[in-house]
Amino acid sequence: MAEKRVVEKEDLFKIQSVTNPQLSPNDKEAVFIKTKIDEQENKYFSEIFHLNVETDEVTQWTFGKERVSSPKWSPNGEQVAFISNRDEKNQVYIMNKSGGEAKKITNVESGINSFLWSPCGEKIWVTSSLKEGAAFTDKTEEKKQDNEKPTAYIVDKMRYKMDGLKGHGLRKQLVHSQIAILSLKDESIEQFSEGKYSHSLYDISPDAKKIIIGVNREEHEDYDFRQPLIMVDVETNEETVLVDHEGYYGGAKFSYDGSYIAYTGSDASYKNATHTNVYIYDIENGTTQNLTESIDSPVGDYAVADTQQGVNAPSIMWTETNDLYFQLSTSGDVQLYYASLEGAIYPASPEGEHVYDYAISKDGQFALVGVSNPTFPGELFISEIAKGERRQVTHFNDEWLTEVKLAKAEPVTYTSTNDWQVHGWLIKPANFEENKKYPLIVEIHGGPHTMYANSFFHELQLLAAKGYGVLYVNPRGSHGYSQEFVDGVRGDYGGGDYEDIMAGLDYVLREETWIDENRLGVTGGSYGGFMTNWIVGHTDRFKAAVTQRSISNWVSFFGVSDIGYYFTPWQIGTDMLDPEKLWDHSPLKYAKNIETPLLILHSELDFRCPIEQGEQLFITLKSKGKETSFVRFPDNDHNLSRTGTPNLRVQRLEQIVSWFEQYLV
C-alpha cells in the first residue's frame, strides 16, 4: 500500500461538497447537490444527483457547467424543480424523474430568488427582485450600451450597501423582492405582492389556502431590523401576524396537518449575540410557545469551515405526528435534535461531528444527513434515528481520502480568567515525530458570534501538512455555549477574549512538550483579523502573524463598513459620540508597539471590513519601519476564503504558508 501524502493547497480542487438532501414524498428516493471547483474554468460547478433510499444507488441527473440550487420534489414525486444559472440569470427548471432534458419554466428578467411548489402540484410560487412598480412579466431591462453615460447613485439611507453585492456593494435603488404564482398549465404568472417593501416566502399551508411571508413595511429601516412573519389568506389577503418583535425570525414551516407553524428566531436582548430558539404557533388559538427556552445553546448551525458550498439546511422539519427536528450548535458540535410539542427534547445524532445539512422522513424514523468531522470532508448518510444506526450513501471523497494523511484534532478544555471554561482543539503536525520540536500557529475565527467545530477545515489541515501544530479555540463571544458566554465579548473586545486565547496558548505550552515556544504564529480573519492585530499590539510572543479581512480602526469602521453604524455600538458599546472609546478598542492605536512581522491580506471588494482597514494598518506600520507586507485580492468580497475566486483562494493559502515559512524557521 502506497504511503499517503500530506494535504496540499490544490486539494481545494479535489474535495467535493455534498449538500441539499431532499427526500421525495414517498421517502423512497432523494435528490441532492454535489459541488466541485473546476480548476481550468476557475469556477464552481454543481450537479443534481438522485439517491434510491432502499438500494443506496446514486445516479447523476444533471451534467451542465452551471450552478444549481434549491432542488424540490413535486407533490406527487414525479418531478424535481430547481434553480439554475445555465442561461446566466437564475431561473426555475423542472425535470421528470423518468428522464429527459430539464425544461425552463420561468423567464423573469431579474431572475428568480426562491420558489415553492403549491401542494396542488399545478402551481409554483416564486420570488424575484423587481424595480418599484415593475411586474414579473416586464422585459424592460436592457444591457448597458458602450456609450451610455454613468448615472449618479443617490444615497438617502445608511443601509445603502452590502458586502457581496455586485456593483461595488451598492444596493439597487427602488428594488424589492416580490412574490408571484406561476401556473404550470400555461406558464402564466400572476403577481401576488407589490409595493415598496421586500417580501420573503417561507411556506404554503397543506390546503394551499395560506402562505407565510416575511415583510417589514416600516418607512425607515436604518435602525429597524425586524422582519415580521405574517400568515396570509391567499383568497382574501387577510393577514395574521405571527411575530413582530425586534430581532431575527424566519424558517417558518406549517405542520403536515396545518394546525401549527414552527419558526426559528432570536429577539434583540443581546443584539446579534442572542440565542436562536424554536417557536410554535398554534393556529387555532393564536398562542405561541418557545419550545427550546430551557436549552442554553443556539438553534441552528454556527460552525465555520471552508469546504461545503451552497448549504441551505432547513431551519426546522416536521414529522406527520407533529414532532420536530432541527440543528443545535453545542460545545463545538452541530447536532440534529428531536423535539415534541409536549416538551421532550434530545439529540438525534452523535457528539463529535458537524451535521451540516439534513432531511427527515415523514414518519420521523430516519434522516438523510450531511456529516463532517475534522478528518472527513462530508458525505450523506442515512440515519435510522430510533436504532441509533447509520450508513454512508455517498462516496465522492473516498478516493481523495485514500490519498492523503489527515491530522487528528484533539479537544482541549482549560480555565481562563474569572474561571471561564474555554474549549478548543489542538492539531499536531501531519508527520509528527516524538522528541522533536515544532512551531505552533494559533487560528482565530471570525464573527465573533460563530464557532470552530468538529468539522473539516482544509486550511487547518494544510498548515498541519506544512509541519505546524495548530491551536484553534472558541473564546468568549463564540456561539455553542451559554448565553452569558456568547455575550461575554460585547463591550470588551481585546479584554476577556484576548485572555481566553492567550490562556489556551499557555495551557498547551504546559501540556505539550513538542511545541517550540520560540516559533509561534497567529492568524485569523474578520473578527479573527481584529484579534490578530490586537494580539501583536499587546505581546511580542509571536514571531509571525497574518491578519485577514481585519478591523484595525473602529472610528473609520463605523462609517465605511456596510454594517459599521449599528454593529459598532452593538459590539463596542458606543458610536461616534464617544470616539475615544472606539479608538481605545482599535488595534491601530497600538500599532507603534507591533514588533511581530505582520502580513496583511484583504479583498478589494470587501464591504464588511473594507480594505481601508488594511490600508491604514499597512501604511502606519510601514511608515514606522515595521516588518510588514500587504496583499490585495481583486474582485472578491469578505468571503474570499470560503467562496471566493478559486485561484485567489489558492494564492491566499500560498501567502499564509510562505509568510510563516519565512519567519517560523
First CA to last CA distance, the chain:
33
Nearest to 630 by CA among 612, 607, 643, 648: 612
Cell readout for 104 is 425552463
- Asked if 190 and 118 touch (Cβ cutoff 8 Å), the reply is no
Q: Is residue 114 among the annotated active site residues?
A: no
What CA–CA distances, in Å, run from 481 to 297, 412, 476, 572, 604?
Answer: 6, 15, 9, 21, 34
Q: 263-269: list long-range contacts, CB under 8 Å, 24+ apart.
A: 263/202, 263/212, 263/229, 263/315, 263/316, 264/299, 264/300, 264/315, 264/316, 264/326, 266/298, 268/225
- Asked if 75 and 121 touch (Cβ cutoff 8 Å), the reply is yes
CA dihedral (44, 380, 265, 75) positive or negative: positive
Please tell me whether the peptide bond between 569 and the residue prior to it is cis, using omega within 30 degrees of 0. Answer: no
Task: Using DSSP, state whether 134 is helix, strand or coil.
Answer: coil
Beta strands of 185-227 (E only): which ranges?
189-191, 199-204, 210-215
In angstroms, the CA 71 to CA 319 distance is 20
In angstroms, the CA 457 to CA 525 distance is 14
Q: How would you classify the pairing of strands 469-474 and 421-427?
A: antiparallel
How many CA atoms does the CB half-sphere of 53 hold within 13 Å?
Answer: 23
In angstroms, the CA 201 to CA 63 distance is 29
What CA–CA distances, in Å, run from 486 to 2, 52, 271, 531?
Answer: 46, 42, 11, 16
In angstroms, the CA 299 to CA 280 distance is 14
Nearest to 44 by CA among 653, 639, 445: 639
What DSSP state is assigned to residue 451?
A: B
Query: Of 199, 423, 602, 638, which is the active-site residue?
Result: 638
Task: Using DSSP, state whether 113 is helix, strand or coil.
Answer: coil
Phi (first) and psi of residue 487, to 5 degrees: -85, -10
Task: Using DSSP, state whether 350 is helix, strand or coil.
Answer: coil
- Asked if 212 and 203 touch (Cβ cutoff 8 Å), the reply is yes
Cell readout for 424 is 478548543
In angstroms, the CA 125 to CA 180 distance is 6
In angstroms, the CA 471 to CA 409 distance is 9
Task: Give all strands of the β-sheet with 409-415 in edge-to-edge order.
Answer: 409-415, 421-427, 469-474, 438-444, 515-525, 544-548, 598-603, 628-633
Torsion of CA 304, 309, 310, 312, to 10 degrees: -50
What Rg value do the Cα atoms of the chain yield, rounded? 25
Residues 6+ apart with CB under 8 A from 642: 305, 306
Q: How would you classify the pairing of strands 210-215 and 628-633?
A: unpaired
What DSSP state is assigned to residue 299?
A: B
Q: Is residue 638 among the annotated active site residues?
A: yes
Cell readout for 534 is 490586537
Query: Of 69, 526, 556, 586, which is the active-site residue?
Result: 526
Strand partners, 390: 383
Which strand (E) or helix (H) includes residue 648? Answer: helix 646-663
Cα 272 → chain centroid: 15
Question: Could you give the residue numbers annotated as active site?
Answer: 526, 638
